[in-house]
Structure 1
Amino acid sequence: MSFMYFAYGSNMLPARLQARCSTARVIGTATAQRFELEFSKPGKDGSGKATLLDTRSQSSAIPGVLFEIDRTELKFLDRAEGAGYGYDRVDDFSITCATTGDIITATTYLASKTDPDLEPFDWYLALVLAGSHHNALHDDHQTRLRAVNHVVDTEESREGRIEALRALSEHGYSDHHSLLGRTVEDR
């Protein structure tokens, strides 16, 4: 038995999600209608993490990646996402499948609280960009991601940073700054 999971943030990069749920496999891309992406979910590390906000506007849409995961790994995904401790798991989230146009329901996670003053760490934003690029999401989405203000994480021993850089490396990204479209000197 498996479930469908809609990723729109750092979990779009397969190596990132597969480190958490080994059975995760990409089904394709999808879109969350009436939503906007923000990095306003407070992370344990003090930075902003991705979340979707309902705009109620038909013109808003956020692309993401649809995965199929073995149901036995749902508890691992809950733990990684902090279900009940920052993110709420939504099991009936409607998305539009990119290849068929069908509206289907999937599991996703939305922030239970947001802080619009937060910014993501550089490595976290790089994960989201790498996932967007890897799954060939729209160029305009990647352009919007590159425009997101972010904070350079100077704590090189941060566990989240180390895990992120490992996932990026597995997909051939040796310099996460290059994904951001800026050099170290630009910041």
Structure 2
Amino acid sequence: MDAASQFTYFAYGSNMSLLRLRARTPSAQLMGTGWLAGYQLRFHKVGRDASAKCDIFHTGTIEDVVYGGLFLIDEQDRYALDLAEGAGNGYDPADLSITTENKAVMQALTYVATITDAYLLPFDWYLEHVLRGAEALRLPSSYLESLRATRAIADSDTERAKRELAIYRST
């Protein structure tokens, strides 16, 4: 596949987990890690299941940084990614400037929440996706610690929780 039929995607939430992302977009290839300055990671996006999902919240403060994974994805998988992310229904796609681990700056597609609630908490299985992805990407230890300190709640739909984490059973 040529570069013209691919796009770069910056994942900062549950899609940092390559297993989860590939279940949604099979062509996803990890390029490396990067960060977005002037933003904070917040668990306040209202999910379809009424729990909190991740969002990048613009603060404009240079000390605020959101880390994540950079993935190359075939254009044919864009619709599936938009659908999984709820593009136009809770998240809007955005092309933002991401600084790579090599200090280069590149444009990448990501998603910004449009419907938020600061009082929501993420389900424990969702936070597990985020943590597994962040750990696999070897994000900075202070960032990992802040993710581990995130308060989560158990999903009353135990079958959904089992389904969500089933992708890790074979690894």
TM-score, normalised with respect to structure 2: 0.94
* Pair 1:59-2:59 in alignment: no
1:22 corresponding residue in structure 2: 26
The one-letter amino acid paired with 1:96 is T
Which residue pairs with 1:169 in the alignment?
169
**Structure 1 runs not aligned, ≥5 long:** 173-187
1:115 lines up with 2:117 in the alignment: yes
- 1:44 equivalent in alignment to 2:51: no
Q: Return the offset for 1:164.
A: 2.4
CA distance, structure 2, for counterparts of residue 28 and residue 165 of structure 1: 24
**Contact 1:125/1:150 (CA < 8 Å) preserved in 2?**
yes
Q: Which TM-score applies when normalising by structure 1?
A: 0.86
The alignment partner of 2:158 has SS state of coil
Deviating 4+ runs (over 3 angstroms):
none
SS in 1 for 2:96: strand
Superposition deviation, residue 41 in structure 1:
0.3
**In the alignment, what sits opposite 2:133?**
131
* Contact 1:130–1:168 (Cα < 8 Å) also in 2: no
1:94·1:103 contact (CA, 8 Å) conserved in 2? yes
Q: RMSD of aligned C-alpha atoms? A: 1.0
The aligned length equals: 167
Q: Which residue of 2 aligns with 1:10?
A: 14
SS at match of 1:157: helix
Q: Distance in 2 between matches of 1:96 and 1:79?
A: 26
Aligned sequence identity (%): 40
